Structure 1
Amino acid sequence: MKSEKRAWFAVLTGTLIVAGGGAITAPPAWTQPALPQSERAAGAILRTEVSQLSVAAPGLPGTLPARSTRFTYASSDTHDAPTTVVGTYLEPTAPWTGPGERPLVAYAGGTQGQGPECAPSAMVSQVIRYQPPADVVFEYDVIAISQLLARGMAVVMTDYHDFGAPGVHNFLNRKTQGYAVLDSARAALRLPGAGFTPGSPVVLYGYSQGGMASAAAAELQPEYAPELNVRGAYVGGPPLGPAEYIARNDGLPGVAPAIAWILNGIAADYPETRPVLDAVLNDTGKAILHDSMGKCGGGLSSALRQQPQNTSRWTTSGQPITAVIDSTPELRKAFDQQRLGGSAPAVPVRVYSARHDGGAPYPAVRAMAASWCGGGAAVELAADDAVPPMTGFLGTHDLAFFPSVTTSQQWVTDRLANVPAPVNCAALP
């Protein structure tokens, strides 16, 4: 997953230079006022905080000034009840030179962790997050964001559900991720002084966990946010769902925290699963879930690194978590609700997948794209053969982010210019 991508870079944010090697404190979580239901319609802005931000990214000269607004907005949880989410709006100083009014890109970030310190809004301004004793995350979504801003596009980035607010981040939850992305766009369009209209063009964009979130938003948009003028969705390297992620990665080095984040989120969202997990997990499994809460990155901390990575050692029965899910109705029902591909987007979609990707395997991504095609969606599946099969510190899934950015930005620009969307559904039976 994208949380496993780490490097040492620096970024200038206002007057603060942040670099690898020092502890960084994230903005404190906001306490949200209790509001009547009528004032918490999805996308309503509850609080704002405006600042100036200079974004620097590897490969781009200098810094890119942008007006930054961090805000709390109303959204919906996995059961469609009201909740709050934090997001960040970035308005570039660069002019928009394309047709019509300035577009808004609803950007879904990649995996960073399960604590407020590693929320995307904190990472965008920090870029490097260090969590003692040895966990470091590089937020290189800033590379794609910088390129979008340089083209004159405004960007809004969601923190997802329960980042910066009380609760547990429900990692890889299809509905809350999709809702958070769509409602971030609704909120940004309402920001005073941003210059948007209700019909301003919107693009959905994300890679890895962000690719799943962008895909979920595209699937949910026709019913949940039909008023948004969505021109297209870019879906890069998406995991198809949390059960598939666990089955594919169980036992691999460094993935125990991500699996624990999934189980923590399921337990928080579906109370009926808590006694089940409590019964099937042994002391080791419970300790890993507890220790992973609030951690950033891919689990480089010494305590988590020494824990068993294979979930068969987390359970009282010795079965892997996937077998427990399959045999438990409460867990199976909760996990089944998180899978992509059940409904087709109503907007053009570009799906990117590296053929050798072990993090989000190409056959599964291709099956999702084919399912969308069968539902009538205009889909282009870009299968990348050029990224070699690699594992370890930087795997194929991680490296594929960079070519995906190169090809996706022009696709976004073309959708905003009303160029007919390319479709290759005929090659996806």
Structure 2
Amino acid sequence: MPSIFRFSPLLAAALALPSVTALAAPAVGPGDAAFYDPPAALTAGAHGELVWYRPASISLGAGVPAAQAWNVVYRSTDALGAANLVTGTVIVPATLWSGSGERPVIGYAVGTHGLAQGCAPSIQMAKGTDYESANIAAALSAGYAVLVSDNPGYTTGATPTYMSGVSQGRALLDIFSAAAQIPGSGVSANAKAAIWGYSQGGQTAAWAGELKNAYAPNLKLSAVAAGGIPADLLRTANYLDGSTGASFLLGAVIGLSTQYPTQIPLDTLTNATGKAAVAKGKSECVFEALYDFMNHKVSEYTVNNQTLAQLTAIPSINQTIKAQALGSGKIPVPLYQYHGVADEFIPIDQTVALRKAYCGKFANVTFGVYPSEHIVTQFQAAPTVLSWIGDRFNGKSTLGTCLSLKAAPTSTANPGGGNFVVSLKSWPLAGTMGLKTLKQSVTLPAASTFTADTDMTANTLKGGMSIPGFTTTLKIAGLPADVKLEVTPSEPVSGTASLDNDGQLHVHGMARVNIKVVSAGVSVLQIPFGCQTSAPVDLPIHFDGPLSSLGNGKLSFAGITTFPPMKDCGLFNDLFTTLMSGPGQTYAFTVTPPAPTTW
């Protein structure tokens, strides 16, 4: 294999992180779009140097603690050893750090954003449209400074070197040094640091971990958390070709050909359809591209319709792809590695193999297994990740799970190809129903679940609720009574579901249930009734909010409805109708993913 594809220890030593005292004073950059167009002459210098910066206004959603933010342009080094300029954002909570020592710092490695300049996280956060805002906000709420590299290629006129692992890893390591040079930022070069990333960001985080000792030896790294990792890009490419996530493969081809133009001569490999696809891919952000290129195969875009297998058999292409593979190095700090078993974009088997490789090098690995698909896992894992990182910052030791005797997790993903469907399989359902006349609420039992297939391509929602019979205490005429209830669906839940280009989820549908009073009484003395609503109760389901709500427990539906009159209550028909029927009844449901496990 040519030396260009290897990370040489001698080159690593030459690129080692300089001391902050040796760096030139940074300048305040332009306040307009020219910020992303620094002169090429500024590229020269040591990696990790802050070239210029400016105060930034960002929007991460409601409930985020007050923070100061800066956009930055800093020097880094690409996968071939060439100097480059990278943009990013530094965010520091406005409140004083209450813990011991310097405020800890998290380098947050973003997932796929798209190849157009406007897709850059720094630009998306300024607009309030970054789909990863929930995770960034969660890290800020924990009191940490958060550094978000845009990744190389978002400066004006450039193309992101998407999926170039070494380039992305170096850019993430360099933003730690750059952030410490912002006057008055409060980010210290001596602070404890952690790295967290998912999907493309998982690749970046793992590469940064492997590169850390050679490239950034002065960084006081305490932990790395990397999820949804495309560790074996060749295996992942075969998984994506012609599948729902085909846009990610197109992006990787464009990104790698940008970093390795000689090894992947994209212009000579593509036909007219391919050239148009490349141009379109460079102009779109992640969710727009997802729908536009879904289920397309690489062979549609190539001269003589060469297949992915034929292309990857070409030695220079094969070597380039294999150069992105993780696991040949060791991450020197504890690693939290995680993946969803229903991941439809990145196969879990290749990240299981990465865990084996790291464990074989005596790395300290804790492997988290989540029951969900790709996007849900990204946000469901956040509380566990931040708790785990917090323990590392606090000096708590971890043995990892490399010695686990559990069977390796296997995929439960929906089949590749077809529509983009996010499946919710028996997700825990918490809820209450408010009875207007009684001025009391009924809480659904803990074993309640919600199941649905949300087809984002066809914009359909199909599912159902499962609510076991339960007993609740109600005060009737001032006296407490134990009432046994059954809430059963009268038909499947149905409606619409869609995901827009800004990562906003829209769900609109209807659940219809029958409510039955089985018996009422005191303790074991129950009087059977068997009366129920004379018609199903309509429970409209409406949600418009960030995609992250699928994973962070904020997928909630609430409203006001009418309970029809009761029937089959015998002599008590009028009483139960008065107490439990009519308009103004309320309901509130929250759907959360099932709990993760470790392996």
TM-score norm. by structure 2 comes to 0.59
Deviation at 1:90, TM superposition (A): 0.3
Assess, with a 3 A threshold, how the Cα gap between structure 1 residues 283 and 256 changes in structure 2: closer, same or farther. Answer: farther
**Structure 2, gaps ≥5 residues long:** 1-31, 409-599
Instruction: Tell me the distance in 1 between the aligned counterparts of 2:305 and 2:210.
Output: 37
Assess, with a 3 A threshold, how the Cα gap between structure 1 residues 120 and 241 changes in structure 2: closer, same or farther. Answer: farther
Q: Which residue of 1 aligns with 2:256?
A: 266
Q: Which residue of 2 aligns with 1:180?
A: 171
Deviation at 1:360, TM superposition (A): 2.2
Contact kept? 1:84, 1:165, Cα under 8 Å: no
Contact kept? 2:85, 2:155, Cα under 8 Å: no
Q: Which residue of 2 aligns with 1:325?
A: 312
Deviation at 1:374, TM superposition (A): 1.2
Q: Which residue of 2 aligns with 1:104?
A: 105
Alignment partner of 1:401 is 2:378:
yes
Corresponding residue to 2:283 among 288, 294, 297: 294
Deviation at 1:183, TM superposition (A): 0.5
Contact kept? 1:107, 1:157, Cα under 8 Å: yes
Instruction: Tell me the distance in 2 between the aligned counterparts of 1:32 and 1:150.
Output: 33
Alignment partner of 1:349 is 2:335:
yes
Alignment partner of 1:170 is 2:161:
yes
Instruction: Tell me the distance in 2 between the aligned counterparts of 1:203 and 1:363.
Output: 26
Q: Which residue of 2 aligns with 1:221?
A: 212
Corresponding residue to 2:387 among 379, 389, 410: 410
Contact kept? 2:105, 2:191, Cα under 8 Å: yes
Q: How many residues align?
A: 375
Alignment RMSD: 2.3
Deviation at 1:107, TM superposition (A): 0.6
Contact kept? 1:28, 1:164, Cα under 8 Å: no
**Structure 1, gaps ≥5 residues long:** 1-25, 129-138, 388-395
Q: Which residue of 1 aligns with 2:404?
A: 427
Q: Which residue of 2 aligns with 1:47?
A: 52
Secondary structure of the structure 1 residue equivalent to 2:318: helix
Instruction: Tell me the distance in 2 between the aligned counterparts of 1:322 and 1:157.
Output: 35
Instruction: Tell me the distance in 1 between the aligned counterparts of 2:52 and 2:216.
Output: 22
In our comparison, the structure showing a higher alpha carbon Rg is 2
Instruction: Tell me the distance in 2 between the aligned counterparts of 1:280 and 1:55.
Output: 41
Aligned ranges 1:11-160 → 2 under 5 Å: 27=33, 30-35=36-41, 40-53=45-58, 55-57=60-62, 62-128=63-129, 139-160=130-151
Q: Which residue of 2 aligns with 1:376?
A: 362
Contact kept? 1:246, 1:322, Cα under 8 Å: no
Instruction: Tell me the distance in 2 between the aligned counterparts of 1:313 and 1:174.
Output: 27
Deviation at 1:109, TM superposition (A): 0.8
Contact kept? 2:273, 2:301, Cα under 8 Å: yes
Look up the equivalent residue of 1:415 and give its one-letter code.
Answer: R
Contact kept? 1:93, 1:152, Cα under 8 Å: no
Instruction: Tell me the distance in 2 between the aligned counterparts of 1:121 and 1:332.
Output: 33
Alignment partner of 1:358 is 2:344:
yes
**Which has the larger displacement, 338-347 or 291-300?**
291-300
Contact kept? 1:77, 1:83, Cα under 8 Å: yes
**Which has the larger displacement, 202-211 or 192-201?**
192-201
Look up the equivalent residue of 1:320 and give its one-letter code.
Answer: T
Deviation at 1:313, TM superposition (A): 2.2
Deviation at 1:406, TM superposition (A): 1.7
1:113-168 residue CA offsets vs partner (Å, 9 max, x unmatched):
0011000111122232xxxxxxxxxx232111111111110001000011134321
Instruction: Tell me the distance in 1 between the aligned counterparts of 2:303 and 2:322.
Output: 24
Corresponding residue to 1:237 among 225, 228, 233: 228
Instruction: Tell me the distance in 2 between the aligned counterparts of 1:145 and 1:98.
Output: 20
Deviation at 1:36, TM superposition (A): 7.0
Instruction: Tell me the distance in 2 between the aligned counterparts of 1:348 and 1:211.
Output: 15
Instruction: Tell me the distance in 2 between the aligned counterparts of 1:218 and 1:35.
Output: 30
Deviation at 1:34, TM superposition (A): 4.3
Instruction: Tell me the distance in 1 between the aligned counterparts of 2:268 and 2:289.
Output: 28
Instruction: Tell me the distance in 2 between the aligned counterparts of 1:205 and 1:48.
Output: 23
Secondary structure of the structure 2 residue equivalent to 1:55: coil
Which protein is richer in strand relative to its size? Answer: 2
Contact kept? 1:47, 1:71, Cα under 8 Å: yes
Instruction: Tell me the distance in 2 between the aligned counterparts of 1:143 and 1:322.
Output: 38
Instruction: Tell me the distance in 1 between the aligned counterparts of 2:228 and 2:354.
Output: 12
Contact kept? 1:89, 1:156, Cα under 8 Å: yes
Assess, with a 3 A threshold, how the Cα gap between structure 1 residues 273 and 187 changes in structure 2: closer, same or farther. Answer: same
Secondary structure of the structure 2 residue equivalent to 1:400: helix
Assess, with a 3 A threshold, how the Cα gap between structure 1 residues 322 and 161 changes in structure 2: closer, same or farther. Answer: farther
Deviation at 1:86, TM superposition (A): 0.2
**Identity among equivalent pairs (%):** 28
